[in-house]
C-alpha cells in the first residue's frame, strides 16, 4: 500500500484529469451527440417503417376480408337471381302449357261445332237438291209419258184398273 502511495504521481493525476475532461467534452460535442442522435433517428425511422408495414398488412387484411365478403355477397346474390329466374321460367312454362291446352281445347270445340254446322248445312243442301232433282225428274218423266194419247189412255186405264170401283 505505501509502495502504491509512493508511486502515486500527482502530476500524472492532474494531466490525466485534464486530458480526460478535454477529451470528454470534445467527444461529447463532436462525436457522441451526433452519433447518438443519428442512431436514434435511424432507429425511429426503422420503427416507423415497421409500423407502417404492420399498418399496411392490417389494411391488406381488411381489404382482403372485405373482398371476401363482397364476393360472398355477389355469389349469394347470383344464386338468388338464378333461383328467381328459374322460378319465373317455371311458372311461365306452366302458364304457357296451361294456356296452350286451353286454346287447343277451345279450337277443338270450335272445330267440332263448325263441322257439325257444316254437316247440317250440307245435309239440308243435299235434301233440297234431292227434292229439286226429284221434282225435275218427275216433271220430265211426266212430260214424256203423257205426250201421246195412247199412253194417256193406258195410264187412265191403269188407274181405272187399279181403282176398283166400289
Partner 1 sequence: MYNLIGAGLIVIGGGIGLGQIGGKAMESIARQPEAAGKIQTAMIIIGALLEGLGFGALILGA
Partner 2 sequence: MIKKNTAFFTLLVVLFASSLAFGSNDEEAGHSTGGAVDTKEEINEYIHHHLKDSHDFTLFSLGESGTHIGFPLPVILVDDGLHVFMSSKFHHGTAVAESNGNYYAVHHGKIYKTDAEGHIEYDEHHHPTNATPLDLSITKNVVGMIFAGILLLFMFGSLAKSYKKGPIPTGVGRFLEPLVLYVRDEMARPNIGEKHYQKFMPYLLTAFFYIWLLNLMGMTPLGFNVTGNIAVTVCLALFTFFIVQFSGNKDYWKHIFWMPGVPVPMKIILMPIEIIGMFTKPFALLIRLFANMTAGHFVVMSLIALSITMKAAFGPAAALGMSFFLALFISIIEILVAFLQAYIFTMLSALFIGMAVEEHH
Binding region for partner 2 (CB under 8 A) out of 40-48, 64-72, 100-108, 152-160? 40-48
Rounded CA gap, 34 and 28, in Å? 9
Instruction: Name the residue with cell 184398273.
Output: 161
Task: For residue 49, state whether it binds partner 2 (rule: CB under 8 A).
Answer: no
Q: If 0-12 CB within 10 Å is exposed, 13-18 middle and 19+ buried, where does residue 148 land?
A: exposed
**Cβ closest to partner 2, residue 35 vs residue 108:** 35
Rounded CA gap, 65 and 72, in Å? 10
Each residue 3-22 as x (binds partner 1 by CB under 8 A) or -, in order, gives: xx------------------
Contacts (Cβ under 8 Å, ≥6 apart) of 151: 145
Instruction: Name the residue with cell 294456356.
Output: 99
**Cβ closest to partner 1, residue 2 vs residue 149:** 2
**Cβ closest to partner 2, residue 8 vs residue 159:** 8
Residues that bind partner 2 (CB under 8 A): 2, 4, 6-17, 19-20, 22-24, 26-28, 30-36, 38-39, 41-42, 45
Amino acid at each position: 500500500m505505501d509502495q502504491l502511495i509512493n508511486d502515486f504521481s500527482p502530476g500524472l493525476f492532474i494531466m490525466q484529469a485534464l486530458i480526460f475532461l478535454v477529451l470528454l467534452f470534445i467527444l461529447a460535442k463532436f462525436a457522441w451527440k451526433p452519433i447518438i442522435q443519428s442512431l436514434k433517428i435511424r432507429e425511429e425511422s426503422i420503427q416507423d417503417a415497421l409500423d407502417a408495414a404492420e399498418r399496411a398488412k392490417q389494411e391488406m387484411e381488411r381489404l382482403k376480408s372485405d373482398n371476401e365478403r363482397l364476393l360472398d355477397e355477389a355469389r349469394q346474390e347470383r344464386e338468388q337471381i338464378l333461383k328467381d329466374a328459374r322460378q319465373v321460367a317455371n311458372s311461365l312454362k306452366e302458364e304457357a302449357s296451361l294456356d296452350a291446352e286451353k286454346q287447343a281445347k277451345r279450337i277443338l270445340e270450335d272445330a267440332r261445332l263448325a263441322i257439325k254446322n257444316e254437316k247440317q248445312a250440307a245435309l239440308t243442301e243435299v235434301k233440297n237438291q234431292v227434292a229439286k232433282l226429284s221434282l225435275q225428274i218427275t216433271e220430265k218423266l211426266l212430260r214424256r209419258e203423257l205426250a201421246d194419247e195412247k199412253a194417256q189412255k193406258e195410264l187412265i186405264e191403269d188407274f181405272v184398273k187399279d181403282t176398283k170401283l166400289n
